[in-house]
Structure 1
Amino acid sequence: MKRVLILKSESDSSEIYASLLAENNFEAVFIPTLGFGFKNLEELRGKLLAPEKHSGLIFTSPRCVDAVQSALQGAPLPEQWKELHNYCVGEVTHNYIKSCLDGLNSLGKESGNANNLADYIKEQFEGNKSLPLLFPCGNLRTDALLVKLMDAGFLLDACEVYETIPHPDLAENLSEALKAENVEFIAFFSPSGVNCCYEYFTKNNVNLTNKKLIAIGPSTRKSMENKGLTVYRTAEKPSVEYLIKVLLNPDGAAPTASENGTKDE
């Protein structure tokens, strides 16, 4: 069985990843790359308690959902948010929102990345543009979504609610995982995860020439290429189905930037 290093934290979707990969003769090994620290939660709480001052919410990761849940301090999300225009990136984030925030529905889960979500919002939004969309985000966010929506006349209330740091056990876990001889693939899930792992690779002179490096999404691919890492293939969206598509049928997967231009998230 071929081993795939999954460079992301285990989550509600981890069992699905492990199960579906095993069905296709791949062993998934999860290595958390990032740690997080929340901040500005009182500021976020004030905004969450004033839905009448916003046109909706934007979530680009499960961590943003965690921040909202922490800011609410056990209280339910005000019901009025359910009547507004709420958006998210990815199936995992969509499901996490529903489970953590009292069944709140969000649109755009199929967008795959923040850049595509901005396009989706521009096409689908039918609300009041004079009120801002609340956007809880991290310190390493890209500005593509903000710029694209603001250029289209939207107001955004971006609230930085968490900081990203390397996971404290990253070096130890990577060292142990790379000892196995059957590691053929390494899947990177975020630009910040790439940065953390690259620091370990260079510091420890890790030879990656015999590994097939997979990028999950265009922004991750771009980050890998900027570090000089050779991208084997790119999974179009952050889901296990797209990852398996790359593993089983690389020639039918999305081409790397060198083959088909570069996309920004």
Structure 2
Amino acid sequence: MNIEEDSLETKVCTSYDEQVRTVLLLSKAGYSQTNPDQTFIAEIANLNLQNVESYFISPIEFNFINIQELGQLISTVNKWHGIILTSIRCVDALIQSFNLLSEREIILAKWQQSTIFTVGDATKQYLLDKLHLDSIGHQSSNSETLAKFILDLNREQPIKLPLLYPCSNIRSESISKSLQGIILLHEVVCYETIPNQHLEQEMKMFRQHIDRKLQSLDEIHLKNCKLLLIVVFFSPSGVMNLFPHICRDLLSLNNTLVVKFVAFGNVTAAKMTDLGIEVWFVSSEPKIKTLAREIEIRLIERLNE
């Protein structure tokens, strides 16, 4: 992933007691195909605040597995009530599986008549864009709320056939535990989440980026200037892989750097809390636009303190 170092001009904000520069680090996981960095840059550009800069690091990578097995399973459409897709990565695995099928278009047409469940608007839209398959349950912000949606649906009209569940090797147990004994579920681990092999180098580059920002502060105001760093975690695995690097490379700069941590969802926030990370706030919904707006609100509140 290319790191955006100078996406937006960073300006000194003078309305706060101490002059504050704001740097935004988005620690993102699994969003490369939807290019949220450019989306976020556009959203930041639309905000009133002009002192926010976006910088992106991906703490994890993905290795797709069992794609042929998944392809064989989706080819037997009549055996399933539907599919559960909890992330964009699951959709990527599904795309690869469909591409293995000799009768791809015929089978895709059959799946258009089946029920597909997705978590979040981004997954729903990605599935629609890539495979022209619509889905329900996308209002759910995580696996737990999607499981509740499926159970409510089952009470209205019993789901008799199994649900196919392509998932990660570090998936949440929310769906399997919630549906156990009520709705049949067939899990297929279709991708592995692994640490970004270049994370060490990318963090080194980011520390150099921070150092340059600090050095650029006017010598006259240096004693009163601090850099505000907002770290946004998108997944529990991102927290696990990146936080140790932040502790080592950034938190030692406590005299010149103020660090605030943001979670993109409640599951990620829970992992942060488990590690003793103080969560500044949790995005109220899993949308880049919402995240950008809520960062703006809290920065304005900070400036008015």
TM-score normalised by structure 1 residue count: 0.86
Alignment partners' CA distance in 2, 1:207 and 1:54? 53
1:194-237 Cα deviation digits (max 9, x unpaired): 11102323555744862110011111001111111111111122
Q: Which residue, out of 187, 195, 199, partners 1:158?
A: 187
1:124 equivalent in structure 2? 153
Q: Give a deviation string over 1:116-154, Cα, whole Å, max 9, x none.
A: 111122223566522111110000101012211225x11
Residue 236 of structure 2 corresponds to which residue in structure 1? 191
174-183 vs 37-46, greater mean Cα deviation:
174-183
Moved more, 194-203 or 229-238: 194-203
The CA distance in 1 between the partners of 2:158 and 2:77, in whole Å, is 13
- Counterpart residue identity of residue 150, structure 1: Q
Where does structure 1 lack aligned partners over 5 or more consecutive residues? Answer: 252-265
Partner of 1:39: 65
Aligned residues: 251
CA 1:250/1:208 → structure 2, altered by over 3 Å: closer, same or farther? farther
Equivalent residue of 2:32, what SS? coil
Matched-pair contact (CA < 8 Å) for 2:83–2:117? yes
Distance 2:249 2:119 in 1: 34
Quote the offset at 1:5 in angstroms: 0.9
Do the aligned partners of 1:85 and 1:127 also contact (CA within 8 Å) in 2? no
Structure 1 residue aligned with 2:26: 6
Q: Radius of gyration: which is bigger?
A: 2
User: Is residue 13–residue 92 contact of structure 1 (8 Å, CA) maintained in 2?
Assistant: no
Q: Report the Cα distance in structure 1 between the residues aligned to 2:58 and 2:233, rounded to whole angstroms.
A: 11
Asked if the contact 1:54/1:133 (under 8 Å) is kept, the reply is: yes
Following superposition of structure 1 onto structure 2, how do residues 1-265 of structure 1 map, counting pairs within 5 Å? 1=10, 2-8=22-28, 9-14=31-36, 15-24=38-47, 25=49, 26-73=52-99, 75-76=104-105, 77-101=107-131, 103-125=132-154, 129-150=159-180, 153-178=182-207, 179-180=209-210, 181=213, 182-202=227-247, 204=249, 206-207=251-252, 210-250=258-298
2-side partners of 1:59 and 1:117: how far apart?
A: 10
CA distance in 1, matches of 2:112, 2:253: 47
For 1:159 and 1:67, the matched residues in 2 are separated by: 10
Alignment partners' CA distance in 1, 2:253 and 2:234: 17
1:113–1:237 CA contact under 8 A, matched in 2:
no
Deviations along 1:230-262, one digit per CA (max 9) or x if unpaired, are: 1111112221132124312349xxxxxxxxxxx
Q: CA RMSD of the aligned region, Å?
A: 2.4
C-alpha contact (below 8 Å) 2:26/2:56 kept by paired residues: yes
Amino acid at match of 1:201: I
Alignment gaps of 5+ in structure 2: 1-9, 11-21, 214-226, 300-305
Matched AA of 2:180:
M
Amino acid aligned to 1:156: L
CA 1:208–1:47: 2 relative to 1, 3 Å? farther
Contact 2:83–2:165 under 8 Å retained in 1: yes
> Which whole-Å CA distance do the structure 2 matches of 1:177 and 1:205 have between them?
9
* Separation in 1, partners of 2:188, 2:244: 29
